[in-house]
Structure 1
Amino acid sequence: MNTKYIDLINQTFDFPQEEFKLEEKHLQFHDIDLMALVEEYGAPLKFTYLPQISNNINKAKGWFKKALKNNKYKGKYHYCYCTKSSHFKHVLNEALKNDIHIETSSAFDIDIVENLKKEGKITDETYVISNGFKRSQYVTNIARLINNGHKNAIPIIDNYEELDLLSQEIEGKFNVGIRIASEEEPKFEFYTSRLGIGYKNIVPFYKNQIQGNKKVKLKMLHFFINTGIRDNAYYWNELHKCLKVYTSLKKICPSLDSLNIGGGFPIKNSLAFEFDYEYMVDEIINQIKLACEDEEVPVPHIFTEFGSFTVGESGGAIYEVLYQKQQNDREKWNMINSSFITTLPDTWAINKRFILLPINRWHESYERVLLGGLTCDSDDYYNSEQHMNAIYLPKYNKEKPLYLGFFNTGAYQETIGGFGGLQHCLIPSPKHILIDRDEDGNITTSLFSEQQKSEDLLKILGYEN
């Protein structure tokens, strides 16, 4: 009878996979020996595999390049990185190796952009697309960037007052985009996104505030839906409505030449994950071209703002199972040496799934367990699925430590979790390791941050000066 954990995986999934394989009974991630990482740095720990950022950027650029060629599309494609997914310098440094552009969300993002310019990582030719609701400091920072000569800065108008606020602080002529307030999925709690301006109001807004304004030029229409890019009726319906707005605007606005379709590429969250990226890109380009041909307007340049797709699959977290609690005749709780609420907040906040695999003991028998974190909070546990709260792992043995890896956690977890700050129940943030490859392809590791110490937290709380 096949009762080993490796048998369960082989019977359930195609394994090994591109990024996962077993080597000497230990899990390898992109040929990284994860047990060696644990032995060197301990657990819990987080890691970022930097080359995967460039890998995903270049995959997407390749899909769009092929789609433009296949459809004889005359516009250009520009890849923007959505910085709110991860603002860390090591992430931006890696991403910017690949001739990309930047999308910002708040005032401090502009400070990061200016820092990158000083270091020569970006230039005035780099597009800086500024989304979000713009409070005074954000407006001031965007204006400063444009006044200092960044000609490819494009603030995206999110509400009716922003254009006047920007005009007051920007000294010369400037370009803008308009964000469409898309309609939400039918099952959503409200009908229309709080972001942007409604479909029916965009052309009147252009006529009233931009068309006769010699200082402002409309260059971009911005489209994004919360569910991301999916091959379903909802996505295609919203895209078609967006294209109707674009073609209507283009007929009265010669300067409009770009369509930003936002982000939303999914990332791998299971060994069974399937998504035909190449088909989706080709069909999006085809639909845009057909809509423009039908209305006899030139096709736009295409911008995307991939955030999670850029950085998500570069990240991981490793924990040790500390103890097993048998709470009743059916429920066994494996307690990890950290907290899901603090280190993987998306698992708690929005039932986000990540790939979960043991690092070691694959050739031993398995059992059905629940995973719990260290905080005294009933929500500090991990669901393998939103409606199925059981997980299969090698059997707990207090004489044989079991290490668990959560993969593709690189987007949002640090910023949502409050990196470097207070954590729920004062559970410390784990070590964070950066993994790269040298010129010869050899793996290198470096310590980005130590695990938080008690004095770090006491200082924040005011107990120490």
Structure 2
Amino acid sequence: MNTKYIDLIDQSFDFPQPEFKLEEKTLQFHGVNLMELIEEYGAPLKFTYLPQISNNIQRAKSWFADAFKKHNYKGKYNYCYCTKSSHFKHVLDEALTNDIHIETSSAFDIDIVRNLKKEGKITNNTFVLSNGFKREQYVTNIANLINDGHKNCIPIIDNYEEIDLLSQEINGKFKVGIRIASEEEPKFEFYTSRLGIGYKNIVPFYKNQIQNNEKVELKMLHFFINTGIRDNAYYWNELTKCLKVYTALKKICPTLDSLNIGGGFPIKNSLAFDFDYAYMVDEIVNQIKTVCEEEEVATPNIFTEFGSFTVGESGGAIYKVLYQKQQNDREKWNMINSSFITTLPDTWAINKRFIMLPVNRWHESYERVLLGGLTCDSDDYYNSEQHVNAIYLPKYNKERPLYIGFFNTGAYQETIGGFGGLQHCLIPSPKHILIQRDADGNLSKKIFSEQQKSEDLLKILGYNEASQSLDFQKNGNSNGKLHLADNKL
């Protein structure tokens, strides 16, 4: 009878897979021996396998190159990285080795751009597409970047006031894009995205604010839908509406030459994941060309803004099963030595799925379990709703510690979880390891951040001796109002 965990996986999925295999009865991820990683650095542990960032960028570039060649598509393809997925320097450094461009979403993003320029990682030829709702500091930072010579910084107009705000601070002529406010799926609470300008208002907006404005040159139309790039009627319908707007605008705006189709490529969230990326790219390119030919306008340069796809599959988290709680006849809770809310917040916030596999003990019998985090919050768990199906793991054995890994966690989890800051129930952020390969394929590892210590959290909370005393005193001259000693924190 096949009762081992390895048998369950073999019966359920094609295994091994390109990034997962067993070596000496333990799991390897892209050739990284995870038990050796645990023995060296302990658990809980987070890691980033940097080569996967470049790998996914190159995959996407090859799909577009193949589609352009097949359809004899006239135009250029530009890969942009959506920095909000992960702002970390090691991520940008790796991504920018692949001749890509950047999409920003806030004022501080521009400070990162300036830092990268100082280091020579990007130049004035690098496109910086500035999305998001722009006010004050963001507008000022964009303007300063353009005024300093970065003419390929293209603010994507999100509302009717941004042209005037930018014009007041930018010296001379500048380029812009316009974001389309796409219509969302019927199941959404809202019908239209809060971002961008409605389909019907794009051409009138161009005529009113850009067409006769000598300072502003329209270069790009930006299209993105919240559910991402999917092979369904909703996506193709929204893309068709976008192309109708593009061709109508192109006929009256000769400077318009680029279409930004945003991001939204899914990443692998189970061993059963199946998405035909090459087909989707081929069909997108084909539809853009077909509509443009029908409307007798030149095909645009195509931009994408892949964020999760760029960095997501590079990340992982490893936990140790501390204890098993039998709560009733059917429910066994495996308690991990960390918290899902703090280290993988999307599992808690949006029931996001990640690949979950044991690191060791694959050749032992298995059981159905639930996974619980350390906090006292009832929502700190990972179960079959977040997983692709019921969770099975090698049977708990107090004498034989079990380690489990969550994979493809590299996008958003650190920023949403508040990296380096306070964590729910003061559960510390785990140690984070960066893994790289040299030209000969040899692995190297370094610690990016140590596990948070008590003093790190106490300092944030104001308990350390160096923090300003919060000694409230009554001021006799202020009608009994309270004030801070020394009037500052």
Tell me which interval the TM-score lies in, with the shorter structure as reference length. Answer: over 0.9
Structure 2 unaligned segments of length 5 or more: list them: 467-489
The residue identity in structure 1 corresponding to 2:100 is I
- Determine the structure 1 residue equivalent to 2:59: 59
The match for 1:311 is: 311
Alignment of 1:194-209 (within 5 A): 194-209=194-209
Hey, what does 1:368 align to over in structure 2?
368
**Partner in structure 2 of residue 396 of structure 1:** 396
1:325 equivalent in alignment to 2:325: yes
Partner of 1:30: 30
* Residue pair 1:347, 1:383 contacting (<8 A) in 2 also: no
State the Cα deviation string for residues 254-289 of structure 1 (Å, max 9, x = none): 000000000000000000000000000000000000
Q: CA deviation at 1:293?
A: 0.5
Identity percentage of aligned residues: 86
Query: Which residue number corresponds to residue 122 of structure 1?
Result: 122
Taking the aligned partners of 1:440 and 1:448, their CA distance within structure 2 comes to: 23
Equivalent residue number for residue 168 of structure 2? 168
Q: Which residue of 2 aligns with 1:158?
A: 158
Asked if 1 retains the 8 angstrom alpha-carbon contact of 2:102 and 2:128, the reply is yes
Q: Quote the offset at 1:384 in angstroms.
A: 3.6
Structure 1 distance, partners of 2:377, 2:431, is: 23
Deviation at 1:388, TM superposition (A): 7.5
Partner of 2:460: 460
CA distance in 1, matches of 2:218, 2:7: 58
Q: Secondary structure at the match of 1:312?
A: helix
Show the counterpart of 1:91.
91
2:415 is the alignment partner of 1:419: no
Match of 2:477 in 1: none
**Deviations 1:121-165 (CA, angstroms, capped at 9, x unpaired):** 000000000000012100000000000000111000000001100
Secondary structure in 2 matching 1:180: strand
Partners of 2:228 and 2:387 in 1: how far apart?
Answer: 22
Within a 5 Å distance, the mapping from 1:130-141 to structure 2 comes to: 130-141=130-141
The Cα of 1:327 is off from its aligned counterpart by 0.3
Distance (whole Å) between structure 2 residues aligned to residue 211 and residue 151 of structure 1: 20
Instruction: Write the distance in 2 (CA, Å) between the matches of 1:301 and 1:332.
Output: 54
Tell me the residue number matched to 2:336: 336
Question: 2:177 matched to which residue of 1?
Answer: 177
Q: CA deviation at 1:387?
A: 8.5
Q: Give distance in 2, aligned partners of 1:237 and 1:164.
A: 33
Q: Deviation digits for residues 152-200 of structure 1, max 9, x if unmatched? A: 1100000000110000000110000000000000111110000000000
Shift of 1:439: 2.6
Contact 1:348 1:380 in 2 (8 A): yes
The residue aligned with 2:12 is 12
8 Å CA contact retained: 1:370, 1:389:
no
What residue number does 1:254 align with? 254
* Aligned residue identity for 2:278: E
Cα RMSD, aligned residues only: 0.8
Residue 339 of structure 2 aligns with an amino acid whose one-letter code is S
Q: So what's the TM-score if we normalise by structure 2?
A: 0.94
State the partner residue of 1:220.
220
> Per the alignment, do residues 388 and 32 of structure 1 end up closer, same or farther by CA in structure 2, a change over 3 Å counting?
closer
In the alignment, is the contact (CA less than 8 A) between 2:354 and 2:387 conserved in 1?
no
Matched letter for residue 69 of structure 1: K
User: Aligned with 1:35: secondary structure?
Assistant: helix
Q: Give SS of 1:67's match.
A: helix
Q: Following TM superposition, by how much is the alpha carbon of 1:438 offset from its aligned partner in structure 2, in angstroms?
A: 1.8
The whole-number CA distance in structure 2 between the counterparts of 1:144 and 1:387 is: 46
TM-score normalized by the length of structure 1: 0.99
**SS at structure 2 position matched to 1:333:** strand
- The change in CA–CA distance for 1:296 and 1:204 in structure 2 (over 3 A counts) is same
Q: SS state of the match for residue 9, structure 1? A: helix
Which one-letter code corresponds to 1:41 in the other structure? Answer: Y
Deviation at 1:440, TM superposition (A): 1.7
Which amino acid is the alignment partner of residue 319 of structure 2? Answer: Y
Q: Is the 8 A contact 1:353 1:383 kept in 2?
A: no
| C-alpha distance in structure 1 between counterparts of 2:254 and 2:37, whole Å | 56
Aligned equivalents of 1:90, 1:290: Cα separation in 2: 40
Give the conservation status (yes or no) of the 8 Å contact 2:353–2:388. no
- Would you say the 8 A contact 2:347–2:386 is kept in 1? no
Structure 1 portions without partners, runs of 5+: none
Pair 1:351-2:351 in alignment: yes
Kindly tell me: are residues 337 and 386 of structure 1, through their superposed partners in 2, closer, same or farther at Cα, counting changes over 3 Å? closer
Query: Which residue does 2:487 correspond to in 1?
Result: none
2:421 partner SS: coil
- CA contact under 8 A between 2:159 and 2:197: conserved in structure 1? yes
User: Can you list the C-alpha shifts for 1:192-246, whole angstroms capped at 9, x where unaligned?
Assistant: 0000000000000000000000000000000000000000000000000000000
Shift of 1:389: 7.2
> Following the alignment from structure 1 to structure 2, what is the Cα–Cα distance between the partners of residues 161 and 348?
37
Is 1:420–1:452's contact at 8 Å kept on the other side of the alignment? yes
1:385 aligns with 2:360: no
Whether 1:406 aligns to 2:406 is yes
Conserved in 2, the CA contact under 8 Å of 1:353 and 1:384? no
Shift in alpha-carbon separation, 1:121–1:463, aligned structure 2, 3 A: same
1:157–1:178 CA contact under 8 A, matched in 2: yes
